[in-house]
Amino acid sequence: MASAATMKGAETILLVEDEESVRRVVARMLEHAGYQLISAANGVEAIALVDRYAGTIDLVVTDVVMPVMKGPAMVAQLCEGRPGLRVLYLSGYTDATVSQNGLLDARANFLQKPFASEALTRKVREVLDEPAATA
């Protein structure tokens, strides 16, 4: 099991969450672990932010089901301009429900809400440390 020190990071994370209170709590958890955050309230806002952001985005942490644009559709658009983008999906729905309803590929990185700070930072570190996907 990873220690709290090994779960810390300095990477840049795009956090996309439509519920403001959840977005603030998750942002606080990630910032406390040392990550740099860019936050958006929905997929359209996230795409606009990424279009203007010249730096590297190491990970997208996004809700699956959001108004305006669902997380997977947003990620597909983001990956057009930034191929190989790493993604962690969050949802109040169970992993099985999300994949069975076609909302998310069963192989996608997923964390069910609610979660503790340690579970989030462990999963973020795990996704960031995965070997890069090859085309």
101 pLDDT more than 80:
no
114 part of a folded domain: yes
Instruction: Using alpha carbons, select from 113, 109, 112, 114 the residue that is nearest to residue 126.
Output: 109
Q: Answer whether residue 91 is part of any domain.
A: yes
* 3 assigned to some structural domain: no
58 belongs to a structural domain: yes
Give me the CATH number covering residue 77.
3.40.50.2300
pLDDT (tens digit per residue) in 103-125: 667 678 999 999 999 999 999 99
**Euclidean distance between CA atoms 79 and 103, whole angstroms:** 17
In a domain, 2, yes or no: no
pLDDT digits (tens, 9 = 90+) for 1-26: 455 555 688 899 999 999 999 999 99
Question: For the chain, how many structural domains are there in total?
Answer: 1
Give the bridge partners for 15, in sequence order. Answer: 39, 61
- d(CA 7, CA 119) in angstroms, rounded, equals 10
Q: How confident is the model at residue 133 (pLDDT cuts 50, 70, 90)?
A: low
pLDDT at 8: 81
Q: What is the pLDDT of residues 44-71, one digit of tens each?
A: 999 999 999 999 999 999 999 898 899 9
> Which residue range(s) make up the domain with 77?
8-129
Place of tokens 């936050």: 39
User: Does residue 77 lie in a domain region?
Assistant: yes
Please indicate, yes or no, if residue 1 is contained in any of the structural domains: no
When comparing pLDDT for 27 and 83, which is higher?
27
Classify residue 59 as exposed, middle or buried by CB count within 10 Å of its CB (0-12, 13-18, 19+). Answer: buried
